[in-house]
Amino acid sequence: MAERTIPGGQTEEAIQAAPVESAPLRLSRRSRIEKWMFIIPAALFQLVWGWFPLVFAFALSFTDARVRGPISFIGLQSYTRMWGDPLLGEAFRVTFIYAAMSIVLTFVIPILVAVLLMEMPPRVMRWMMLLWFLPLSGIASTILWKYMYNPEYGLMQGIVRLLGLPEQRFLNDPNLVLFWLIFPGILLFGPGLIYMAALQGIPSSYYEAAEVEGAGFWRKIWTISLPRLRPVISMMLTFAIIGSLQEFYWPQIMSGGGPGSASRTVVMYLYNLWGNLRFGDSTTVAIFLFAIIMVITVIYRTFYKEDPDA
């Protein structure tokens, strides 16, 4: 997804630097040297490709930067300008709704589905997984979905008609366009497969012990499946939050941000600003987004402590 490497996209790496617990093993001198041999290039790489652009963007946001010619510091001009920009406010509104919806629909729902699937007989489950796996590559195609969503001859309208529901305008409907952009992601079930892999790693004796101890279906899910999924959920949720707040590709290709501004995300907006040679404004928006993602991630990390027992 080359389209994602947009200006300001540096924020991604910066936030992904989540704390990782390293095993405090006693290493021999030699393997300690080896350890540094691996870590130093990675750290340098992160510094150069992750933090440097961020610092650079930060610096840029206080200038009237142009590609050529003199650059002068203009203080907080970009900040006040973008703070007062109604379209940016709108883009943030869209982005938050998009993120919330996509987290509920493509993140929370798959947890439930995966958990329920695990209760199926193994044979059924294997078939279901195959059913999901096979079309994986094709399902994420924007071209396919553009056809699917065509209000005249698209397959989705066919299904809607078949179900006797009122005809839909799909991507042309400003109230539902975000939902339809997320919808393929629901079918994609990507996180679901990861949950299922994680669920399969839970020893069955936990469930059996619970059963013997009188636990019913929901209690088993609540007291075993979900707690055991915690580390996976935690990691995936971090990615989902960061990823959905930086959504660009699907709305850009599928709806171009429309109709109106109904699906224009913050990253799309800052991309447009960049396109109009408004580098300072564009990076300012990137800094806004970075700050918001940072705050959300920190809050989330604080409330959602890593659990070494899970």
Site for another protein in 170-199 (CB under 8 A): 171-175, 177
> Does 93 help bind another protein (rule: CB under 8 A)?
no
Instruction: Kindly write out the interface string for residues 127-166 of this chain, putting x where it contacts another protein by CB under 8 A and - elsewhere.
Output: -------------------x--xxx---------------
Q: Which of 51, 85, 97, 249 binds another protein (CB under 8 A)?
A: 85
Contacts of 240 (CB under 8 A, 6+ apart): 102, 103, 106, 107, 191
Distances (CA, A) of 107 to 46, 113, 156, 189, 235: 28, 10, 23, 8, 12
Q: Applying CB under 8 A, does 206 fall inside the site for another protein?
A: yes
Tell me if 106 sits within 8 A of 191, measured CB to CB. yes
21 forms part of the interface with another protein (CB under 8 A): no
Separation CA 178–CA 263 (nearest Å): 6
Of 203, 206, 200, nearest in space to 232 by CA: 200
Contacts of 260 (CB under 8 A, 6+ apart): 174
Nearest approach in angstroms of CB 125 to another protein is: 18
Across the chain, which distance is largest between two alpha carbons, in Å? Answer: 76
Closest CA to 283 of 115, 64, 130: 64
| Residues 209 to 238 in contact with another protein, rule: CB under 8 A | 209-216, 219, 223-224, 227-228, 230
Binding-site member from 95, 244, 255, 284 for another protein (CB under 8 A): 255
User: What is the binding site for another protein (CB under 8 A)?
Assistant: 6-7, 64, 66-69, 80-82, 84-87, 146, 149-151, 169, 171-175, 177, 203, 205-206, 208-216, 219, 223-224, 227-228, 230, 254-256, 258-261, 264, 269, 272-278, 281, 307-310
